[in-house]
Every structure is written in structure tokens, then in C-alpha cells.
Amino acid sequence: MEFLRGSYFYKIAAYLRFFKKETVLLIVVTLARMAAALPVPEVIRRFFDSVAAGDNSNLVLSALLLSGLFLFGVWAGYLSDIRTQNIGHGLTNLIRGQLTEKILQLPYAELTKQRTGDAIARITGDSSVFQEYIMSVVINPLINAVLLLVYTAILFRIHTALSLVIVLSFPVLALIIGVFHKKTMEASFAFREGYGGMYNQLTELFFALKLIKAKKYEKRHGEYLKQTYDGVRQAGIKMNRLGSKSTHLNSLVINLNLLAVLIFGGYLTMSGQLSLAGFLSYYLILQLTYAPIESITIAFSSYQQGIGMLERVFEILETGSEQEKRKGASFQPGKVKLNELTFAYPDSRNIFNGFSEELKPNAINVIVGPSGSGKTTLLDLLLNLYSPDSGVISIGNQLLGEINKKDYADQIA
């Protein structure tokens, strides 16, 4: 149960509480859809029994019943799709709102680290996975798992030995899914990270477009972006190739299994152990069984390919907000002391290296220096937007990091 609680399946399903009315309607139409599908194998079996017995009245009745079930199933499926799409769009909108709120609440240093383009990619592209997942990973697998169990039980009822041939393929399918799961998940995450990086580079490009044109750097930045595009393309190809391998290997196992059933079933029919009508009904019901199997394997493939998007979304949603970190001592005015400060931006040289200074209270303190000497950075450190890599900033007898952030911000004009 703890494993389930930590899974993305559980996390996505938990969001359905925000759409109670739509979820109830979805459950109703989904049950109706299942109710239309469950009797089909038994009606097919009775249809062929009527053919074998020459019973015209039951033959017509079975045909009419099948037609009604198919029509009702199509109608229920349409309503189920509409309800699912409504929930999917609503969920995506909700997630985007939560992501935006969470990103705005992150400390400024983390926002700079995340960078604008990557944040946009998570809000726009990554969050869209929820709309697809509600149908392909949450709803359809549940429906198809129930149908698979019922159809398999009916097949065992018709002929046990023949059904054992089908069951033998299940461990092989599970093995294929397991082998490709980790590789596809890693490829998916790499693709989404590359996609976020591409967004970030494009954002930075358009922000600095005036400078780029003034310096005539268009070609250099164009080549740099082409390399990024190629990296994203390669990551996408790798992810899709792994997903395609998994899906088609599963299809191969299913088709080989079907061939084995045809050969063994043909032998049983020729030896008189199974009637022709019984074999035909068994074969048609078996065709119905393969659809849920294929749907479940495709759902696993979709889940694996989208796992990177889910990780990037929940990485933000499950990060503690700045409000959660604002607990601290009340602000007490006093002398500002900077003691042995060392600070550098990521992938950059040290701006401060053992810097110390005192700022007197109730006085005008002027910071002067050439461009790039660290005046703005010092102000950002005093505003508590960044934390020094080493050294401390204190106000009176209080360390800056221990002061309530909101209380401190209220003192700044």
C-alpha cells in the first residue's frame, strides 16, 4: 500500500477529488461501458451454439442482442471519452495553476537556477501529460484489466487446456515491460530535460536579441541552438525507439500466442475434443481478449515515455515553498555586519572572496565601485535573495538567515 501511495498512479488519481461530479459521471458511464462489453463473449458462444444446432430463433435473438450491446458500448464509450476529456482539461489547468503558484513561491536563488525557459516548459508542456494520462494510464487500464479477467474466465470455461496456452504468454509480456521500463523512463527524463533547456535558451535569446544583433552574434547563437535542437531530437528518437520496441515485441508475443492457439485448437477440433462451433466462438472471444492486453501494454509504454514529464512536474509541486521557510525570529534593528563573505553565481568566478564590511544604522551608506564589481550582488545578498557560499551577514545580534523573511522584507523601503 505504501508503494502505491508513492506511485504517480496514486498521485494522479488523488487529484480526482477536485472533480467529484465529473468523476462520478465518469464512473457511471465507465461501468455502463463495461456492462456492455462483459456479456459479449457469452452471447458469441450462444450464437455459435445456435448455428451448430440450427436454432434460427436463438440465432436471430443472439444477433440482435450483439447489435444492441455493440451500439450501447459505442454510446457509453463516447460519453466516457467526453467525461475523461473534461477531467483531463480541468486537471491540466489545475496543475498549471499550482505549478505557477509554487514557482512564484520558490526562493529567488532557486528561480534563477530553474531559469525562465525551463519553468515555462514545465508549466506548458510537461503539465499537458495529465490530460493524456487520465485516459490512457488511469481509466483504460482499469477497464481493460476487469475485461481481461472476465474474458479469460470465460475462455477457461470453454476449454481449460487451450486457455493455458494463452496464460503462458502473460509472464513474457510482463518481462518485456520490466526490461524496457527503466531505460524508457531514463530516456523520457533526458528528453524533457533537454526540452526544458531548449525553452530556456530560446527565452534568453529573445531577451538578449538587441545585444546579439548589435554584436553580430546571430550566426554563433544560431549554431548553438542547432546543437540543442539536435540533442533534443536524438533524445526524442531514443525515447520513442524504446517505447516502439516494447510495444511491437508485445505485439509479436501476442501474435505468436494466437498462432499457437490456432494450431492447438485446430488439432483439438480435428481430433473431436472440441466442436467447430466451440472453436470458432473461442477464437472470436480470444480476439476480444487481446484488445485489453494490447491496451494495457500500450498504457505501460505511454506511462514510461511520459514519466520524465511527471517527475519534472512533481519535483516542483513537492518542493517546500518560501512561505514554509519564513518562520524565524522577529526583526530587531541594529548594525549590519558582513563577515568574510564568499559568493559566486553558478558556473562563474567568485564575486566576493572573504569580503567584510559594516553598515552603520540611521546613516546613509553609499556603495561605489566599477561595473561588475558586485554592487548589485551585494544588494541582493542584503535583500536575502541569495545566501553567501560562506561567511555570515548579521543585523545586530541576529543572523540574517534566522530572521523571519516577511518581517525583514517589511523593513525594506
pLDDT tens, 221-273?
778 778 888 888 888 888 888 878 877 887 788 788 888 888 888 888 888 88
Q: What value does the mean pLDDT take over residues 86-90?
A: 85
Grid cell, residue 342, equals 564568499
pLDDT band at 111 (very low <50, low <70, confident <90, very high): low
State the average pLDDT over residues 325-342: 72
Distance from C-alpha of 35 to C-alpha of 39, rounded to nearest angstrom: 7
State residue 331's pLDDT score.
66
For 80, list phi and psi in degrees, rounded to 5.
-65, -40
Determine contact, residues 243/305, Cβ cutoff 8 Å: yes
The answer to whether residue 13 scores a pLDDT higher than 80 is no
The stretch 195-200 carries a mean pLDDT of 75
pTM metric for this prediction: 0.61
| Separation of alpha carbons 199 and 374, rounded Å | 29
Q: Hey, do 2-322 and 326-409 end up sharing a CATH topology, with the first three levels equal?
A: no
What is the number of other CB atoms lying within 10 angstroms of the CB of residue 391? Answer: 17
Q: What is the pLDDT of residue 301?
A: 67
CA distance 165 to 158: 13
Give domain 2-322's CATH architecture.
Answer: Up-down Bundle (1.20)
Domain boundaries, the chain: 2-322, 326-409
pLDDT at residue 2, as a whole number? 38
Which whole number is the average pLDDT over 36-65? 80
According to the model, what pLDDT value does residue 115 have?
A: 65
For 127-163, the pLDDT digits (tens) are 777 777 776 666 777 778 888 888 888 888 888 888 8
How does pLDDT run across 112-137, given as a tens digit for each residue? Answer: 655 666 777 777 777 777 777 776 66
The answer, yes or no, to whether residue 3 has pLDDT greater than 50, is: no
Shortest CA distance to 329 belongs to which of 410, 403, 405?
403
- Report which residue type is found at 185: M
Residue located via cell numbers 508485445: 250
The SS3 call for residue 332 is coil
326-409: CATH architecture? 3-Layer(aba) Sandwich (3.40)
CB 122 within 8 A of CB 317: no
